[in-house]
Amino acid sequence: MHYLSEGFKAAFAILLSGQEETFNAIFTTLKVSTFSILLTLAAGIPLGFILGYYSFPGKHACRAISDTLMAIPTVVVGLLIYAFISRSGPFGGLGLLFTLRGVAIGQFFLGLPVVVSLTASATEQMEDSTRLTLMTLGASPGQLAASSLWEGRYAVVAAAMTAYSRIISEVGVSMMIGGNIKWRTRTITTAIALETGKGQFAEGIALGIVLLSIAFIVNGAVSVARKRATS
């Protein structure tokens, strides 16, 4: 256990010293994950509302697919995106492979089912009286959607935080699409895998502490949002 205690001491020393390589991976992670979650919310919330509010042919199949994709392994998403954006793929000419834009696209598809399914669930749980009141007042489709989502805002926030937690902690997409390139596409998770493999436990622990701290903050926000949604 001695090497663990020494590793933690060295890890805190790295964080306090502001080691450039370590903090570059942290900032890269925050940058790409923030961009990914914004894209995910922009697409996922409207799709989730439509899936939860309206009835249409194939709705149950769409819901089943979305729910199933919530648990799709990150390496499978990475493999599929890689096939599309590699040089021999249909979008190879866009130059997305081994870039943060490519990683963001992969993370978008990773988080989208989470936001869609959880937003749909929040919409379905809205009381019928609220819907009838809005329709009686002559609310437009946009007003109806905005009012409904506001009623279930805490559940939507929980969906967003859950998706962000999945995005920021994934390693498969970042490794396969980003390539773990130093100073460019190296994220916290890929850096942990690399440094641990090299035997650099202190740097791995330092990044692990940061990732764990982010996870605690995100999960705390999810817990608060869920409590308010059910109160």
Mean residue pLDDT across the chain: 87
Q: What number does CATH give the domain 21-230?
A: 1.10.3720.10
Per-residue pLDDT, 151? 78
Widest Cα–Cα separation across the chain: 69
Instruction: Give me 99's structure tokens.
Output: 């870039």
Average pLDDT over residues 179-193: 92
Per-residue pLDDT, 167? 95
Average pLDDT over residues 183-191: 93
> Rounded distance, CA 103 to CA 109, Å?
10
Q: How confident is the model at residue 216 (pLDDT cuts 50, 70, 90)?
A: confident
Residue 128 has pLDDT above 80, yes or no: no
Domain residue ranges in the chain = 21-230
Give residue-wise pLDDT tens across range 152-184: 788 888 899 999 999 999 999 999 999 999 899
Per-residue pLDDT, 198? 83
Instruction: Give me 3's structure tokens.
Output: 């090497």
